[in-house]
Amino acid sequence: MKDTTYSGNEPGQNNDDFENNPYHLQNLFAEGLERVDDLLSKAPALIYIIQGKNLIYLNKTFTVISGYDFKDMKTENIFSFVHPDDLEKVITSYRRRLAGEYVPPYEARIAIKNGGYLWVYFSAEVIQYQNKPAVMGIALDLTPIKQTEHALRMSEEKFAKAFETSPNAMAIYTLSEGRFIEVNDQFSLILGYSREETIGNTARDLNLWLNKGERLKWIKTITKFESVRNIEVKNLNKSGKLIEGLITAERIEFNGETCILIVYTDISEQKRLTRELARLDQMNMVGEIAASIGHEIRNPITSVRGFLQYFNEIESMQDYQEFFGIMIEELDRANQIITEFLSLAKNKRIELKPNNINDIIIAMTPLIKIDSLNQDKYLDISLQDIPDIMLDGNEIRQMIFNLILNGLDAMEKNKTIHLRTELDDNGDVLLIVEDEGTGINNDVLPNIFTPFFTTKELGTGLGLAVCYSIAVRHQAFIQVDTDNCGTRFTVRFSQN
């Protein structure tokens, strides 16, 4: 006994029981459309039947969505309702399907009555209608999908545009491995690594973190929480310069993978200005203290020194001359510290008059050369032609001397310290002192101009603080550039 249910054969495949199958669509249509119209009119898809170029049937859903009723479309060439750009595809698919070939479902546009076109998803079946082949098609309305796709595409385009043009550094990296998969131009600008150098690498590969402990803490935080806001971090750029930033991060799905989107704000300049203000406040306080007690301390020191000199000249006390000499040296050292201490005073009076830094350096050269040679180190001086500017000569001499001593202390024997002057493109006069030491540690760098901060065993922590104070009084700016090959101090005297 032969099976009389629908066999599920591929379209175009012969079936001996095709004519005898009472459940097959072709038999239902052979008995008249009225029997199935009620069923098809309730279907959510657009259903139609075409025979030749003639429209045989439209279900209610088709007329509701397209706005055309059966009479409107029956009087026209049915293919005139297809978008011109899709016409060849639709006609070719129709002919192939009518010939018994299998045609995969495809997208095309059909006209709607109120103007414009509607995207639909076509699939078709060959049927027999009134003993002639016809094509029954089902078209799914793609409007919701297309709207979603459009919104998603617009969202992606907006995100891509916002990502690329953001004034903040932005990056996306995988949560599992921490590898960068996208960065914007600002990221490359701030951290110094090109997109090609960054993609595929991790922050550890690029040595972006100042210290490992902070990196591990960050990883734990972002792994635990889906988002973090404004976390202060310290990073290193490609050249090893310290960058202070704020990180905001969010977990996202990107290309089917869980990733982290980070927004990095460079706050190095803000932090520097904050430290500058704090340092100025501290120096002002120190200066006020210095001004109030400096002279009071100097007076007894001067008296004690005078008595030691007197005792040193008494014949009966010749056995104690060595001790007197040591005590006098220590008092002189204390007096020098007080002198430096007084140099921090904000209201210290200075005498500004036209002067040339080159002339000051030339006058100092014999003294600083002797200091360098005594330490088996070398001095290289290069002076460009620069204009006279308003200076206090004594203060500038002290600044140069302090910077030279600081550079000599930072170097080993047989190294060279470079002293030069330049005139930049803005007309600013530059005083540059550059050593060949090992550089300043990034943890130390923010504090080098702070009074009494020192890494030297016998240092007072006042040398660079005095340089800073002198620069402030001259409305100059000191820039520090450091790496493992040395440190360069650039004092900029602006003429604007």
What's the whole-number mean pLDDT along residues 16-28?
40
Topology of domain 353-493 in CATH is Heat Shock Protein 90 (3.30.565)
Q: What is the pLDDT of residue 188?
A: 92
**pLDDT tens column, 76-89:** 788 888 899 999 99
Q: What is the pLDDT of residue 309?
A: 83
Residue with the two structure tokens 């629908």: 6
Beta strands 257-266 and 242-254: pairing type? antiparallel
**pLDDT tens column, 439-483:** 988 878 888 887 777 777 666 677 888 888 888 888 898 989 888
353-493 shares the fold of 25-141: no
Write the class of the CATH domain 271-343.
mainly alpha
> Domain limits of the chain?
25-141, 147-266, 271-343, 353-493
Q: What is the mean pLDDT of the chain?
A: 80
Lowest mean pLDDT among 9-23, 222-236, 340-354: 9-23
Does position 286 have pLDDT exceeding 70, yes or no?
Answer: no
Number of C-alpha atoms within 13 angstroms, CB side, residue 272?
Answer: 12
Sign of CA dihedral 37, 43, 44, 47: negative
Higher-scoring residue by pLDDT: 179, 293? 179
The sheet that has 132-141: what strands, in order across it? 54-58, 46-51, 132-141, 117-129, 106-111
Does position 359 have pLDDT exceeding 80, yes or no?
Answer: yes
Binning pLDDT at 50, 70 and 90, where does residue 253 land?
confident
Query: What architecture does CATH give domain 25-141?
Result: 2-Layer Sandwich (3.30)
Lowest mean pLDDT among 1-10, 322-331, 434-443, 446-455: 1-10
**pLDDT tens column, 137-191:** 888 888 777 776 666 666 667 777 778 888 888 899 998 888 999 899 999 999 9
Interatomic CA distance for residues 402 and 386, integer angstroms: 22
Percent of residues, the chain, with pLDDT higher than 90? 18
Alpha carbon separation from 311 to 161, 301, 305, 327, 329 (Å, rounded): 83, 15, 10, 12, 15
Measured between its terminal Cα atoms, the distance across the chain in Å is: 107
Amino acid present at 299:
N
Write the class of the CATH domain 147-266.
alpha beta
The sheet that has 180-183: what strands, in order across it? 180-183, 169-174, 257-266, 242-254, 227-236
Q: What is the pLDDT of residue 149?
A: 65
What's the whole-number mean pLDDT along residues 251-277?
83
Does position 24 have pLDDT exceeding 50, yes or no?
Answer: no
Q: What is the pLDDT of residue 289?
A: 66
